[in-house]
Amino acid sequence: MHSPFDLLAVLLVMSAGLAYLNCRFMKLPMTVGLLVGAAAGTLILIALDALLPGLGLKPALRDLISRIDFPAALLDGFLAFLLFAGALQVNSADLLARKWTILALAILATVLSTGLTAAAMFAASRWLGLGVPFPWCLVFGALISPTDPVSVLDVLKRIGIPRGLQATVAGESLFNDGIGVVLFTLALSLATGDPIDRFGPATIASLFLLQAVGGGLLGLGFGYLTLLLVRRVDDYNVELIISLALASGTYSAAGLLGVSGPIAVVVAGIIIGSQGMDGAMRETTRQHLMIFWRLVEEILNALLFLTIGLEIASIDLDVRSIIAAAALIPVALVIRWFSVAVAALPLNLRLPHRYGGLLVLTWGGLRGGLSVAMALSLPDGPNKGPILTVAYGIVVFSIVAQGLTLERVARRALSGRVEVSSG
């Protein structure tokens, strides 16, 4: 491979081939099928390399992975478009009707999950002798706490889940990505001894609010500015280009200004998806815009989940880290349930069947590519290996086990007419 185009061509060919095999034989959800197929193929090649080291298969795989630069591809590219595409499909009225529950889940539940997961990782590290210091355990807690809405909303809509729960799942998943990135940045600064480690809790909290609120205000401003532009044109090609400019420009501007890019893109996408499509675009434009962004989302998700499967080649599997991952998978689920309960239940105590909704929110809180990307972006050192292995194990279990059983769990929870989050 001599150019980025060659690399992209290889990834697209692999995605197409695995998607075809999955559609014909495995018949799993496409994202799960791509991840499982890529991971299985990678493990087979690693096993062949162990048997026939002269073939050089594992070094070739690692060279391919190093060329992809997954953290940069996701955090500095894919994430902006994936979040924008997801935000376009969310109804702002539904979000506003449940704003307090969504904010509690996106902020309080994510912060609580970060702290509890860090404590669990620290306990596992001491038990197994991994030697991960607590500040690095906080980094792990921050990177594993955000949830991924990929495929979840499609399943919930197909079941006929109440709009309140749909809005809650979508809102939390979209906003807690931004909160998670902010927490991860702050935790990593503390762990690596950057100047921020001299600041007190109040200063760190203010920096957190500055990034989160600043990102929201930036997205609000860019979103309404774009709304003014699309109201003055009647050409869906131009409006598609404007939407691309909004997603990429907002994310880039947020990085330059030091505020949260994910939150800014989500807010801008919600404004265009709700007010722009309803009041500023013709039906033809709306259809073209949604078809285009759904296609972008499908292609990027295909590349994303393929790459997650391939990334197993970049992990040096250590027995103690594998044991830690196996031990922390159920712990992470319990922490997810507890965090959601503490954040959401006080706002929904009067709702019947609230515990069924809590189950859906817990099991539907899948971890995804963002967690793997943040783990891979860590600086090389003794702590990166255990954190990456445990994070990868939790993510793969989440996508495969929770993703494949979510419909069954949600149907059982919905059998009692679940109502969730009116606050």
The CATH number assigned to the domain holding 384 equals 1.20.1530.20
Q: Which residues of the chain have pLDDT under 50?
A: 417-422
Q: Is 13 exposed, middle or buried (0-12, 13-18, 19+ CB in 10 A)?
A: exposed
According to DSSP, residue 360 is labeled: H
89 and 230 belong to one structural domain: yes
CB 259 within 8 A of CB 211: yes
Q: Which of 29, 47, 66 is the last residue of a domain?
A: 66
* pLDDT the model gives residue 22: 93
111 and 76 belong to one structural domain: yes
pLDDT, tens only, 246-299: 999 999 999 999 899 999 999 999 999 887 777 778 888 889 899 999 999 899
The residue type of 188 is L
Alpha-carbon distance 150 to 88, whole Å?
A: 14
* pLDDT the model gives residue 112: 96
Alpha-carbon distance 37 to 259, whole Å?
A: 37
102 and 201 belong to one structural domain: yes
Helix (H, G, I), strand (E, B) or coil at 35: helix
349 and 260 belong to one structural domain: yes
* pLDDT the model gives residue 216: 93
CB 324 within 8 A of CB 130: yes
Nearest to 360 by CA among 160, 186, 156: 156
CA atoms within 13 A on the CB side of 366: 24
Helix (H, G, I), strand (E, B) or coil at 8: helix
* pLDDT the model gives residue 267: 94
104 and 21 belong to one structural domain: no
Residue 423 lies in a domain: no
In angstroms, the first-to-last Cα distance of the chain is: 53
Token match 């690692």: residue?
A: 62
143 and 182 belong to one structural domain: yes
Q: Is 131 left (phi over 0), alpha (psi -120 to 50) or beta?
A: left
Residue 24 lies in a domain: yes
297 and 231 belong to one structural domain: yes
Cα angle 296, 299, 301; round to 5: 105
Residue 137 lies in a domain: yes
* pLDDT the model gives residue 35: 92
* pLDDT the model gives residue 155: 64
- Structural domain of residue 15, as residue ranges? 4-66
* pLDDT the model gives residue 421: 43
Residue 419 lies in a domain: no
pTM of the complete model: 0.90
201 and 335 belong to one structural domain: yes
Residue 422 lies in a domain: no
193 and 252 belong to one structural domain: yes
Instruction: Give the phi and the psi of residue 127 in degrees, each rounded to 5.
Output: -65, -40
Cα angle 118, 265, 191; round to 5: 25
Domain count, the chain: 2
Residue 284 lies in a domain: yes
* pLDDT the model gives residue 233: 87
**How large is the C-alpha radius of gyration of the chain?**
21
The residue type of 387 is I
Token match 């595409």: residue?
A: 85
72 and 62 belong to one structural domain: no
Q: Which of 19, 38, 66 is the last residue of a domain?
A: 66
* pLDDT the model gives residue 348: 66
186 and 300 belong to one structural domain: yes
| Tokens encoding 169 | 């799942």
Residue 129 lies in a domain: yes
Alpha-carbon distance 380 to 140, whole Å?
A: 15
According to DSSP, residue 23 is labeled: I
Q: Which of 24, 43, 66 is the last residue of a domain?
A: 66
Token match 């193929």: residue?
A: 41
194 and 135 belong to one structural domain: yes
DSSP H helical ranges for 104-231: 110-128, 134-144, 152-159, 163-192, 201-230
Residues contacting residue 343 through CB under 8 Å, at least 6 positions apart = 101, 104, 105, 108, 109, 112
Nearest to 114 by CA among 209, 41, 180: 180
Residue 12 lies in a domain: yes
